[in-house]
Structure 1
Amino acid sequence: MLFDYQEFLGGIDRSAYHEGEWQWEEDGYTVTRTYTYSAPGCHTSCGVLMYTKDGKLEKVEGDPLDPCANGRLCMRCLNLAEGVNYADRPKYPLRRAGERGENKWERITWEEALDEIADWIRVNIDEAGLGRESIFVNHGTGRNISSWVPFLGGACLGTPNIGAIGSSGYSCYLPRTCGTAASIGDFPIVDASEGHEDRYANPEWHRPDVVVIWGCEPLKSNADGYLGHWLVACMQMGTEFISIDPQLTWWGAHAAYWLPLRPATDLAIALAWLNVITTEELQDKEFVDCWCAYYDELKEYVAQFTPEWAAEICEVPADVIRESARFYANAERGAIQWGLAFDTQNDSIQLCQTVSNLMSVCGNIDKPGTNILVRNGFEINPGYATAQLYCPPETFAKKLTVDVVHPGYVHFIGMADCDAVNQAFETGKPYPIKMFWSQGANCIACTANAAPRVYKMLENVEFCVVADPYLTPTAIAFADIFLPLKTTAERDSMRVWWTPLRAMKSVSEWYEAKSDEELIVALGNKLNPELFQKRWPTLEALLQDYLDTGFNIYDPETGKSYKSAGRSKAGMVEIEDAHTEYWKKHHADGECSFDALVEKGCYEYDDLCDTYYKYEKGLLRPDGQVGFSTPSGRIELVPFATFGAWGIDPWPKHHESIHTIKWLTDPEFKKEYPFICVNGSRSYEFFHSENRQQATMREFHPWPIVKISTQTAEEYGIGEGEWIWLENSEGRCRQKAHIDPTLNPNYVYAEHGWWFPEEEPAFPHLYGTFDVNINNLTASYETGPGGIGCPFKSIVCKIYKCTDDVAEPAPGEVVTRLGGFRNDYVAGEPYAYGMEDSWQERQKRGEE
């Protein structure tokens, strides 16, 4: 064993790290023990020591006394001071002084900004006879979006339409949460001891025997409340690995098996694994008999999906599929770590259902070293339900739901449907979107598929507010009012994503920037004073209510308490007590406060995530009975009831995207677009579109990179580091080639989220974002069953070298001045297979 946790703990000089203190003076610095959370940052939250001098963040170190990360940090945290102290970071609220896109601003006060926002809403929405549903609130990722942005939308602005613009199929994380909720009733994550405060030393914990790293790179992404280095510790303790990924990652290079499948054919692999496990009777018979429903039906169904069937689809040898399935199933403790690739394909929700079945039939659920079931610590569950809690019922009933654009589907997601939002912007149906609020988001550079289409949608919106720590391409292009937000170093906030509950303590200030939480208090007291002055008049009251009730409706005068009925259509339900488990645990001793949490070291672990075999102990069901939180109380391997209510076929079926079907069946189309492009490769330096301002990060990673194979480089005469064009019927962009000798020659791997803060911000350039935006090549409106999933990571393209002898307008100019790559968009329709109405053809006809 390379990693001995007790030896690690014994080697820490605890007095040097001021055990028991949350702040102290050291060598001229004030040192604060706290946690980070974006922006800038990532999906997770690590324990850090922030060193400040004269109120300025100077450096960040890992805190070895933090049991969550044990002092380990990635370069995003280590380089945090550069992002916080970025010289061109906006200091004050700004009003647009010229035309949109001219990058002309004038400084205004917060009072002026909030008054203008309130007045615009009053005149142009309320007095105009429109409803607040005509406001759309867009969020990015990170920044406690599930807590604060829906709360801002519902309680402050009074709109139910909150979500991620241009992200068809909710294609980030929701397919996994919904797919597992339908079958298991809770969310499974790999048990790397993260549920325990004493971590690897916990006497009940065992390291996994086998972990499947499926469609993700945990070391680069640290996604979904999970730290990649936890799995490295497991590897050092003897865990073996399987990598299922089209490219050879670090994990694949260290794995017992690597399955380099064709992109977006994961469901075929999963079904074939179930075939092997059930036909060879490798299942955990006792667990299946006691705790699973519909096993016989599942076994009969998957009998058709042999490894030979999957091999034809996935381009992975049948023997490798069969042997790797046995390797996982025969492990006493197996676990599966999945990633965004699960969400970014058409059959995503059924893929997530099927992979959760793999965990279940092998008994790898909630026992040590498998996939444990987790919930937010202390039952603190603020999320999209807060919009339902505080948005007026008659307005909430008008939320843009999936059936608006995909008839026959059932809306069961908290956020507004992305494609229904697109259609409202494009057509004004079922009502127009008049105001666009963007919070901590940079949609045209990052999240928006069909980015040029989203640009066309937004350029005519009547009023736009952007709240962000930085002036992004999205802010330059659309903002009428810009509100500067604080970074993680300047926020008093809390974060609960599984466990532990964590506090972020402000260590510095940035001029007049406000935190998301401070903005909510200020905006709410301006727009909804009756509610806010009673319940959240101050930041302190807001943070306290987070701990007390998780923002559930609670009226101490009447004793009435309510919460959202979740995925059902029942709306609000009365509950006995709205208080959280944290409040119940600490209220009597007076320690239920933000300050008390900070003084404890900024974290506290809950009991639920610390407990194994919760289904045996009555901890999962609301009635306290043993079993799982599903209609039957068992794991429903075929989720007839839940998928039936959602309008989704309970029998998983692999199907390809529109473009890959054409790519596989039409030789001329494949000749025109010979490559499958995997979109959104992660890096160590960046989190989506964040950190491009940081000189150190750019020194490591100065340009957007597209990986191509050695064979492709030779065939096309492309050298390392040369700019190449990527193009398909939707649009094009350019990135710099990196030659990867391990890559399949049919695939290319492109990066997303790029812009260049050092370059020209004004039109048509917009920091160069459209010139390199791989989402120029993606499309809206194509989703899978239930309106879930979208083929981000299996688009098709051609490539060719960039040359200086061809005078062509840059993509940024095409998008902002020449009408875009297409002007034939039809709401609800994703693709154009020809280029008859492309910008090139319009130029030939002499059209502007």
Structure 2
Amino acid sequence: MSEEKSWVTDLGDGTHQVRTCVWSPPGDHPVGCGIIVTVKDNKIVKVEGDPTHPITHGRLCPRCIALDEVEYHEDRIMHPMKRAREDRGKDKWEQITWDEAFDLIESKTREFWANPGPESILTFTGTGREITMYSAAYCHAIFNSPNYCMTLSGGSCYGPRCTIANFQLGAGYPELDYAAYFPDRYDDPRWECPKYILVWGKNPIYSSPDGFFGHALVDLMKLGSKLIVVDPQVTWIAAHAEYHLQLRPGTDTALALAMCNVIISEDLYNHEFVEKWVYGFNEFAECAAEWTPEKAGEICWIPAETIQGAARAFATNYPSSALWGLSIDTMTNGVQAGHTFLAICALCGYMDIPGGITLARPSSFTGKWRYETVNSVPDEIRAKRIKDLDGKYKCWDAAGPGPLPDVTLDWLEMENPPTQFKMSYWFGTNPLTCMAASPKRWEKALNKLEFNVSQDIFMNPSIMALCDLVLPLSTSVEHEGIVMPHFGRNTHFLGAMSKAIEPLDSKSDVEIMLELGHRLRPELWPWQTPAEFFTDQLHTAYDWGFEDLQEMVVYQQPFEYRKYETGKLRADGNPGFDTPTGLIELKSSIYPVFGEKALPYFEEPHFSPYSDKIDQEVKDEYPLVLTTGGRNIAMFHSEHRQVPSLRAINPWPLVTIHPDTALKYGIEEGDWVALENPIGRCVQKAHLSPTVDQRVVHAQHAWWFPEQDGESPNLFGTYKANVNNLIPHEVVGVTGYGAPYKNVICKISKVDDLDS
């Protein structure tokens, strides 16, 4: 390789440009947008899109454009800081050196290893950031603990969909075929434009979730693809869809079963594909037979003819494709919804065909390594992983990468849990603000621990409330890394994150990981630099290393369709799918092992106006359906609230209310509104719009106010607008997956201000 760096261009006058791909921090999903960073005197002068990037083609979201505002923000954490345990909740941070910080972590870790044991150390991960690829390794290969945790009830983000895909397809995350594997993209002769795209519970133009470049949906619309959108809100894509199925939140399984009913009863399914590659069709057909469009329409609030029209359009326009989103994860009945969503696609024969849904085996590069690190934990310690003592969640305990979050909280709240917990270490998470259902319970539980550590770029409410040590992270333009869309599960490309500027006193997640690994378990950490680590990981799949990837900037993976015909979806090399039956399982052979039904079923949301699990007087008092979590393009979960240009786009937490509903409660645009249910309360600003049903309100999630007092009890106002105050703990599915973040009851009322 030439000593000159092809990704760096010298512009003269001490100025140069760096071509790189971004991930995080600051927060983002692994879309790997291509950017060109102009630098002078180690300062960012300009950030612009890279027109040569094969996926993003120079297009950027506001978060990428505002990178310089993050980089030079006055509130950014710039040095390691510690404080005394008794000062939790107080702004009494003392600046220390990295050596002092690492010494403290090492000392505490070895103390707790000795007594009561490694299992007393918990690690907590978040969602979406670069650290997602390495967080399990921190837990297992550094702290020697089996307790790799989240605070998200039911693990309700991406993991449920991946598990469903693993069980039913034996494949990595299924994705819309938007020609992402091909250098000439839509002009590649192997590719075909989808006739219809079924977008289920996803708003990708605003979220670009999990590695999918959302604007590709617009590209496909321009090429002729039509949309079928399942969403309780009239989003931009729903407004441009041929069919918008505006369902009642939490009723997705009923709708999906009705669409299957139409496809089967009207003989619209792909007989050849089903006969050769599908297991359990007859039993599944019997299951779907009772779910007529009329029955489902009454439950879902959708006209029967709309369900029929959408199902017919999708099944009779070959090839078509589909996207499934977070809404599948964020309901108790989500495993069944995902099961039936995949059944729709399988019945039509759209799996792994041009213009259909791409499938892949989970990558051998890093995505697999991170979970294999659990094998470095001795069996006697692994046996002490947090688990449900009643044996209810056998599926999660067998398939989940760590303990079920709900059970973790239960153990933390016990007076005498089976394990005496001492320490927690956090990465990429602001749990009290963003992830935790019933967050005040989590704050109280985590405050019991003797030592809490977080690494991040800004102070946040969770760190201020609970941590004793905070480590400053470098941004994605200050360190080297690799972007892997879909976290190695259906990765169409690898992108190099190349350092554009030198950090001051911050380090990357990988640099911290290597340093702690060298100190605590050096036998597992032979790599001296991130580049060495990345090269060694790349060598498990390729004959080139990290510097070669930097030269390429983006490496698009080779791809072929219909891999089930050639044995490339199975570990044994035989044709078919990597499931126990070798087929796509419409009737699951796995779920019954864990106490779950083999065929999908609809279950009314626990806290709904029609639930038989709550009393009628409660339903009368809280007549509205609350859904949450719609994405705003300016912010990633709880991040970016302090970035001026992004905060200007979305200055306040908004609850969207239908104008007729608002009139009934005396609420006008911009009023402060209290949302309440039997679990909790929050306050947000009213936005009146007919984009939601009159019986539904939608609240934004993950709000806090960096401009407010950070000390306890205010904690930057994190509990004031926090819609997770209204979300129940441990209302999860039989498998443990899924929780009702998007489907509970509430009432609304006008209040004077945020502090009312």
TM over 0.5: yes
Number of the residue aligned with 1:392: 378
Number of the residue aligned with 1:654: 602
CA contact (8 A) 2:674 2:684 kept: yes
Number of the residue aligned with 2:11: 26
The secondary structure found in structure 1 opposite 2:82 is strand
Taking the aligned partners of 1:630 and 1:771, their CA distance within structure 2 comes to: 47
Q: CA deviation at 1:299?
A: 1.3
Residues 56-110 of structure 1: per-residue CA shift (max 9 Å, x gap): 2232111111102111111111111111221111111101156111111111111
> Does 1:544 find its partner at 2:535?
yes
Number of the residue aligned with 2:551: 599
Greater Cα offset, 735-744 or 539-548: 539-548
Dislocated runs of 4+, deviation >6 Å = none
Taking the aligned partners of 1:185 and 1:67, their CA distance within structure 2 comes to: 29
What TM-score results when the alignment is normalised by the length of structure 2? 0.95
The secondary structure found in structure 2 opposite 1:142 is coil
Number of the residue aligned with 1:81: 68
Taking the aligned partners of 2:428 and 2:384, their CA distance within structure 1 comes to: 25
Q: 2:35 corresponds to which letter in structure 1? A: V
Q: CA deviation at 1:27?
A: 6.7
Mapping of residues 717-736 of structure 1, within 5 Å: 717-736=666-685
The secondary structure found in structure 2 opposite 1:736 is strand
Q: 1:220 corresponds to which letter in structure 2? A: Y
Taking the aligned partners of 1:478 and 1:348, their CA distance within structure 2 comes to: 32
Q: CA deviation at 1:329?
A: 0.6
Number of the residue aligned with 2:541: 581
Q: CA deviation at 1:525?
A: 1.3
CA contact (8 A) 1:176 1:342 kept: yes
Q: 1:116 corresponds to which letter in structure 2? A: L
Mapping of residues 328-367 of structure 1, within 5 Å: 328-367=314-353
Residues 547-592 of structure 1: per-residue CA shift (max 9 Å, x gap): 13xxxxxxxxxxxxxxxxxxxxxxxxxxxxxxx221xxx2xxxxx2
Q: 1:650 corresponds to which letter in structure 2? A: A
- Cα 1:315/1:455, change in 2 over 3 Å: same
CA contact (8 A) 1:728 1:797 kept: yes
Mapping of residues 705-744 of structure 1, within 5 Å: 705-744=654-693
Taking the aligned partners of 1:716 and 1:23, their CA distance within structure 2 comes to: 59
Q: 1:176 corresponds to which letter in structure 2? A: R
Taking the aligned partners of 1:364 and 1:493, their CA distance within structure 2 comes to: 34
> Does 1:457 find its partner at 2:457?
no
- Cα 1:330/1:623, change in 2 over 3 Å: same
What is the percentage of aligned positions where both structures have the same residue? 38
CA contact (8 A) 2:365 2:538 kept: no
Q: CA deviation at 1:730?
A: 1.5
Q: CA deviation at 1:322?
A: 1.2
Q: CA deviation at 1:45?
A: 1.6
Q: CA deviation at 1:404?
A: 5.5
Taking the aligned partners of 1:212 and 1:316, their CA distance within structure 2 comes to: 16
Measured on the aligned residues, the alpha-carbon RMSD in Å equals: 1.9
Taking the aligned partners of 1:267 and 1:192, their CA distance within structure 2 comes to: 26
Q: CA deviation at 1:379?
A: 4.6
Taking the aligned partners of 2:396 and 2:40, their CA distance within structure 1 comes to: 54
1:236 counterpart (222, 226, 231): 222
Residues 670-724 of structure 1: per-residue CA shift (max 9 Å, x gap): 2211211111121010010111111001111111111011012111111111111
Taking the aligned partners of 2:61 and 2:363, their CA distance within structure 1 comes to: 25
Number of the residue aligned with 1:501: 494
Taking the aligned partners of 2:290 and 2:213, their CA distance within structure 1 comes to: 37
Q: CA deviation at 1:508?
A: 1.6
Residues 444-496 of structure 1: per-residue CA shift (max 9 Å, x gap): 01011111111111122211011111111111111111111111111211132
Mapping of residues 235-254 of structure 1, within 5 Å: 235-254=221-240
Q: CA deviation at 1:383?
A: 5.4
Taking the aligned partners of 1:352 and 1:407, their CA distance within structure 2 comes to: 18
Mapping of residues 535-574 of structure 1, within 5 Å: 535-548=526-539
Q: 2:141 corresponds to which letter in structure 1? A: A
- Cα 1:740/1:107, change in 2 over 3 Å: same
Q: 2:752 corresponds to which letter in structure 1? A: T
Q: CA deviation at 1:663?
A: 5.5
Residues 390-441 of structure 1: per-residue CA shift (max 9 Å, x gap): 2223212221235567366562111221122112211142212211111121
Structure 1 residue ranges without an equivalent (≥5): 1-18, 549-579, 587-591, 812-848
CA contact (8 A) 1:405 1:419 kept: no
CA contact (8 A) 1:294 1:637 kept: yes
Considering Cα pairs closer than 8 Å and 6+ residues apart, tell me whether 1 or 2 has the greater RCO.
2
The secondary structure found in structure 2 opposite 1:793 is coil
> Does 1:49 find its partner at 2:40?
no
Taking the aligned partners of 1:25 and 1:707, their CA distance within structure 2 comes to: 49
The secondary structure found in structure 1 opposite 2:36 is strand
Number of the residue aligned with 1:141: 127
CA contact (8 A) 2:257 2:288 kept: yes
> Does 1:620 find its partner at 2:569?
yes
Q: CA deviation at 1:40?
A: 1.4
The secondary structure found in structure 2 opposite 1:126 is helix
2:633 counterpart (676, 684, 688): 684
2:593 counterpart (621, 639, 645): 645
Q: CA deviation at 1:810?
A: 4.8
Residues 192-225 of structure 1: per-residue CA shift (max 9 Å, x gap): 1112122111111011000011111111110011
Greater Cα offset, 536-545 or 650-659: 536-545
Q: 1:84 corresponds to which letter in structure 2? A: E
Mapping of residues 439-454 of structure 1, within 5 Å: 439-454=427-442
Taking the aligned partners of 1:36 and 1:91, their CA distance within structure 2 comes to: 21
- Cα 1:54/1:20, change in 2 over 3 Å: closer
The secondary structure found in structure 2 opposite 1:486 is coil
Taking the aligned partners of 1:796 and 1:39, their CA distance within structure 2 comes to: 35
> Does 1:36 find its partner at 2:56?
no
CA contact (8 A) 1:438 1:466 kept: yes
Number of the residue aligned with 1:836: none
Number of the residue aligned with 2:250: 264
The secondary structure found in structure 1 opposite 2:255 is helix
Q: 2:592 corresponds to which letter in structure 1? A: G
> Does 1:529 find its partner at 2:522?
yes
Residues 352-402 of structure 1: per-residue CA shift (max 9 Å, x gap): 111101100100111111111134556543455134132223212221235
Taking the aligned partners of 1:491 and 1:539, their CA distance within structure 2 comes to: 9
Taking the aligned partners of 1:633 and 1:407, their CA distance within structure 2 comes to: 26
Q: 1:658 corresponds to which letter in structure 2? A: H
Taking the aligned partners of 1:513 and 1:408, their CA distance within structure 2 comes to: 41
CA contact (8 A) 1:32 1:50 kept: yes
- Cα 1:625/1:175, change in 2 over 3 Å: same
Greater Cα offset, 631-640 or 783-792: 631-640
Count matched residues.
741
Q: 1:343 corresponds to which letter in structure 2? A: D
Q: 2:228 corresponds to which letter in structure 1? A: I
Taking the aligned partners of 1:358 and 1:152, their CA distance within structure 2 comes to: 39
CA contact (8 A) 1:152 1:520 kept: yes
Q: 1:762 corresponds to which letter in structure 2? A: E
Q: CA deviation at 1:118?
A: 1.6
Q: CA deviation at 1:647?
A: 3.1
CA contact (8 A) 1:402 1:787 kept: no
CA contact (8 A) 2:682 2:719 kept: yes
The secondary structure found in structure 1 opposite 2:607 is helix
CA contact (8 A) 1:91 1:510 kept: no
Q: 2:554 corresponds to which letter in structure 1? A: Y
> Does 1:286 find its partner at 2:272?
yes
- Cα 1:315/1:764, change in 2 over 3 Å: same
Taking the aligned partners of 2:464 and 2:164, their CA distance within structure 1 comes to: 38
Q: CA deviation at 1:735?
A: 0.6
- Cα 1:772/1:255, change in 2 over 3 Å: same
Mapping of residues 689-838 of structure 1, within 5 Å: 689-803=638-752, 810=755
Taking the aligned partners of 1:127 and 1:271, their CA distance within structure 2 comes to: 54
Greater Cα offset, 143-152 or 703-712: 143-152
Q: 2:556 corresponds to which letter in structure 1? A: Y
Taking the aligned partners of 1:382 and 1:667, their CA distance within structure 2 comes to: 49
CA contact (8 A) 1:405 1:420 kept: no
2:423 counterpart (435, 453, 458): 435
The secondary structure found in structure 2 opposite 1:211 is strand
Taking the aligned partners of 2:113 and 2:162, their CA distance within structure 1 comes to: 37
